[in-house]
Amino acid sequence: MKTLFITTLALAATFAQADTGKLDATTPGAVIRKEVYGQFVEHLGRGVYEGIWVGADSPIPNTRGIRNDVVAALRKIKVPVVRWPGGCFADDYHWRHGVGPQRQPSINSSWSNAIEPNTFGTHEFMDFVEQIGAAPYVGVNMGSGSVEEGQAWMQYMTAPANTAQGAERARNGRTEPWALPYVGVGNESWGCGGHMYPEEYANRYRQFQGYLKTYSGPKALKIATGPDTDDYAWTDTVMKLATRFRPNATSPILYAPTKPLMDGLSLHFYTLPSNRWGGVHPARGFGEAAWISTMKRALMMDELVTKHSAIMDTYDPKKEVALVVDEWGTWYDKEPDGPGGLWQQNTLRDALVAAVTLNIFHDHAERVRMANIAQMVNVLQAMILTDGPRMLVTPTYHVFDLYQVHQGARRLPLKLYAAPYRFGDIEVPGLSGTASVDAAGRVHVSLANVDANQPRRLTLAVQGVKPGAVRGQVITAPAMDSHNSFDAPATVAPREFSGARWTGSTLTVALPAKSVVTLELR
Ligand code: AHR
């Protein structure tokens, strides 16, 4: 009794904010698709070469050239889908360079004219996704490629071995076709992928999509190039012109607009600390102004998804077309002593960005049915960093690890009434959260305290869960830019969390400043 009294006093003294919330576990909503936890790999910097591929002769332990340490780490977080080969590189990629015994180097004109050895091609990518247990999402070259090239690649990957393309694949070592559940049609066609107007893209999309079929296995879901950030005009035009068959008055039955011509529309959005490109945005060694502006920018994802979805609703009220956020994450300055190639350190700040972004995706589970963080290894907001034979997992990886309990679970209504967090002239909600119930009936709640200084005490009124045990894990660290290094790889890592307790049907959670917590309510 005495201990309890002291603890209560201590809580009252320590917490400047008393935040409240409501969790209703009696009304599960949409399924949080596991594909929202997808990743993106591009031939850029050390993302593929060294990050994934070291070659069969490497002293780094590998399986058919793919490094074992990276595969083991990715298997642990259950990566559901990997987008490849780009990015801008996808519209620069000619797949034939990357198959067969004789691989000729080519130029990666998207990224500093680097030499692309083409040793990691279609077979190696498919081997990689099989090794980590993920599905492939292949981006077809629309910018500098042709319909014929795209169609031949689809046949190469998915046609039976008794066809010309299938036989070529078999000669190159793979008899069985691969399953290809997702195909992207161009990348950033408004930018590096062709600088098109949306009308032009929509027409080209209509033509390409007709030929990008799978010839065995599941029908590939086709994902069209969507907008950059808040380019709502792009979404409107592409949805208007490319979603449906063209109405045809003379044969309305033949051309009846039953199924959409696309299954997904992409959205690209990067978290730039000051809401614009340029300026000084170091990945570490930043102050609280950069911290809070990064949080504000990350939270903008909610506005973007809401507004793009509303436009999609006008053309696709049944939500048959998914919004696929296939590039998202933080993008900082080149590190002065880093290797370049969009390599950046990953700190506690990135963990918070990952958590609030995933929470937003869960809130929009009906429309956001896939997302791919940029990028998987050694590039931008990476899960994994490597240095030759050494490898570490980042704070962002740990958030994906904690959040895997939400993959495939049903979203639960969670309302938070949190005092704002302010610094300078910026204000953001102090807390962000999400909750879900999995197939076994386990309820999980994830909470992010974005406040860089103040711990928060959240009092959550819970409906539909019998109070019992509660256990959890927390990610936090002393500094805003705490990060893992090869010498200290566990500086930021999940720890057991004992700051939650039941009082009747109320759950009180003591959240440290700048932290991410996932709880299991039993
Ligand atoms: O992820 C890095 C680059 O960002 C991608 O290649 C491109 O699609 C985007 O602009």
Helix 198-211 vs helix 232-242: crossing angle, to nearest 10: 40
Q: Give the β-pairing of 384-387 and 390-393.
A: antiparallel
The residues near 259 (Cβ < 8 Å, ≥ 6 apart) are: 320
- Select which of 327, 335, 366, 520 is catalytic: 327
Burial of 317 (0-12, 13-18, 19+ CB in 10 A): exposed
Chain segment 303-329, per-residue pLDDT in tens: 999 999 999 999 999 999 999 999 999
Nearest CA to ligand 1 atom 8: 87
Nearest CA to ligand 1 atom 6: 87
Give the distance (Å) from ligand 1 centre to CA of residue 87: 5
Q: Give the β-pairing of 410-411 and 322-330.
A: unpaired
3-27+412-521 maps to CATH 2.60.40.1180: yes
Instruction: Provide the mean pLDDT of the chain.
Output: 94
Whether residue 257 has pLDDT greater than 80: no
Q: What CATH topology corresponds to 34-407?
A: TIM Barrel (3.20.20)
Structural domain boundaries in the chain = 3-27+412-521, 34-407
Whether residue 26 has pLDDT greater than 60: yes
The domains spanning 3-27+412-521 and 34-407 adopt the same CATH topology: no
Q: From the alpha carbon of 191, which atom of ligand 1 is closest?
A: 10
329 Cβ closer than 6 Å to some ligand 1 atom: no
Q: CA-CA distance, 35 to 42, in Å (whole number)? A: 18
The residues near 269 (Cβ < 8 Å, ≥ 6 apart) are: 228, 229, 300, 301, 304, 325, 327, 328
pLDDT of residue 522: 78
303 as an active site residue: the answer is no
Chain segment 409-463, per-residue pLDDT in tens: 999 999 999 999 999 999 999 999 999 999 999 999 999 999 999 999 999 999 9
188 Cβ closer than 6 Å to some ligand 1 atom: yes
Instruction: Please report which helix (H) or strand (E) contains residue 230, including its range.
Output: none
Beta bridge partners of 383: none
CA atoms within 13 A on the CB side of 359: 29
The residues near 428 (Cβ < 8 Å, ≥ 6 apart) are: 292, 295, 296, 299, 420, 421, 450
Chain segment 54-70, per-residue pLDDT in tens: 999 999 999 999 999 99
pLDDT of residue 171: 98
pLDDT of residue 13: 41
Mean pLDDT of 138-147: 98
pLDDT band for position 346 (cuts 50, 70, 90): very high
Nearest CA to ligand 1 atom 9: 87
pLDDT band for position 92 (cuts 50, 70, 90): very high
Q: What percent of the chain is predicted at pLDDT more than 70?
A: 93
Q: From the alpha carbon of 110, which atom of ligand 1 is closest?
A: 6
374 Cβ closer than 6 Å to some ligand 1 atom: yes
Give the distance (Å) from ligand 1 centre to CA of residue 232: 19
pLDDT band for position 163 (cuts 50, 70, 90): very high
149 as an active site residue: the answer is no
Residue with tokens 């998207």: 110
Give the distance (Å) from ligand 1 centre to CA of residue 222: 19
92 Cβ closer than 6 Å to some ligand 1 atom: no
Instruction: Please report which helix (H) or strand (E) contains residue 497, including its range.
Output: strand 495-497
